[in-house]
Amino acid sequence: MDYGNTLSRAWKITWNNKILWLFGFLAGLGTTSSNGNGGRGNVEVGNGGPGNILPPDLERQLQRPEVIAIVVTVACVLLVIGLALFALSIIGRGGLIGGIRLADDNGKVSFGEAWAAGVRNFWRMLGIQLILLLAGLLIGSFGLFTGLIGAATLGLGLVCLLPILCLLVLALIPLSILAHFAQFGIVVDNLGVMDAFRKGWQVLKDNLGPIIILAIILVIIGVVTGLVLVAPFVGIVLPAMAAFILNPERPNAGLLIGSGLALLCYLPIAIVLGSILQTWSNSVWTLAYRQFTGAARAPMTPAAPQPMA
């Protein structure tokens, strides 16, 4: 494949269809993850045990029914917000791929067209995410089982099961790559979930070399742009850190306020630049997928001169 042409066409689609940046932002919501501990920590609360670091009065206040109701309400609201963001990320991903396909075919795409593509493919795109989630849960459950067996057998079971657990964790990498190509099969080729996985496997098997080369190019570009995006954050945080280091008891308020204002000013810029990068990288992969499957738009060629009568 012509890597330079694919990268440049992807940039033209990204720059000429700025509405896709919004879908790039929404698609990027699905790449964030929680810290994995659910905020539970390692402190035991209750019964006045040694692990309880809360004052008795505060502990009694937290056990009041109205306080518990507020905590449960806040947790439910956060859960609803999380599910809404998750759904928007799936719609954004489908709308981004569908919008890129339409922009490649027609030169332009509207918000309504891209949004309709995201909504139309929502359930099948959700199916891919659920498969990845189920695989992760199964591996996590096996890891828990391995730990219990290891504890019960004084480490003997851990020695036997740990290699299997490592292989299962490593298996998530090709599964994630396969799911990445399956989503193009859903949006671009209008396939079902399992058919999209089969099509993604066929694309990977037939084009492994170009895919690896393209992935390396995008990783290098991603690392460079990531460093460029992170550099201003470092410059913003350093003055605040210096304020605490030079005077921990009374840090310079001017430095702290300046760093805070600079962070507020740069954060929207970073979000926009990240959305552009997300849109461009998805454009590259969408165009590459269309080339691999023979669905790419044929380049315009000048018409042959007609002989004069």
DSSP string, 199-268: HHHHHHHHSHHHHHHHHHHHHHHHHHHHHHHHHHHHHHHHHHHHHHHH-SSS--HHHHHHHHHHHHHHHH
Q: Is the pLDDT of residue 8 over 90?
A: yes
Query: For residues 10 and 101, is the Cβ–Cβ distance under 8 A?
Result: no
- Kindly give the interhelix angle for 3-16 and 208-246, rounded to the nearest 10 degrees: 60
Find, among 109, 102, 307, the residue nearest to 187 by Cα.
Answer: 102
d(CA 138, CA 175): 14
Q: 97-126, pLDDT tens digit by residue?
A: 999 999 999 989 999 999 999 999 999 999
- For 300, residues 6+ apart whose C-beta sits below 8 A from its C-beta are none
Start-to-end C-alpha separation, the chain: 42
d(CA 96, CA 102): 10
Q: Is the pLDDT of residue 41 over 60?
A: no
- For 230, residues 6+ apart whose C-beta sits below 8 A from its C-beta are none
Q: 205-233, pLDDT tens digit by residue?
A: 999 999 999 999 999 999 999 899 889 88
Mean of pLDDT values over 275-296: 90
d(CA 290, CA 246): 57
pLDDT value for 113: 93
Query: For residues 141 and 149, is the Cβ–Cβ distance under 8 A?
Result: no
Q: Is the pLDDT of residue 203 over 90?
A: yes
Residue 290: its H or E element: helix 253-292
Query: For residues 98 and 117, is the Cβ–Cβ distance under 8 A?
Result: yes
**pLDDT-based confidence at 6, cuts 50/70/90?**
very high
Mean of pLDDT values over 121-136: 91
pLDDT value for 141: 78
Find, among 80, 50, 46, the residue nearest to 62 by Cα.
Answer: 46
117-121, 145-149, 171-175, range with greatest mean pLDDT: 117-121
d(CA 225, CA 166): 32
d(CA 277, CA 262): 22
d(CA 218, CA 220): 5
Higher local confidence (pLDDT), 31 or 104: 104
pLDDT value for 17: 94
Find, among 216, 213, 204, the residue nearest to 2 by Cα.
Answer: 213
d(CA 178, CA 184): 10
The burial class, CB within 10 Å (0-12 / 13-18 / 19+), for 44 is exposed
The fraction of the chain above a pLDDT of 90, given in percent, is 47
Mean of pLDDT values over 181-200: 92
Return the structure tokens found at 233. Answer: 């954050």
**pLDDT-based confidence at 63, cuts 50/70/90?**
low
Q: What is the mean pLDDT of the chain?
A: 80
Q: Is the pLDDT of residue 175 over 80?
A: yes
Q: Is the pLDDT of residue 42 over 90?
A: no
Determine the residue type at 224: V
- For 25, residues 6+ apart whose C-beta sits below 8 A from its C-beta are 92, 271, 274, 275, 278
Find, among 78, 25, 42, 97, the residue nearest to 275 by Cα.
Answer: 25
Distances (CA, A) of 138 to 38, 124, 141, 169: 19, 21, 5, 10
pTM: 0.76
Q: Is the pLDDT of residue 139 over 90?
A: no
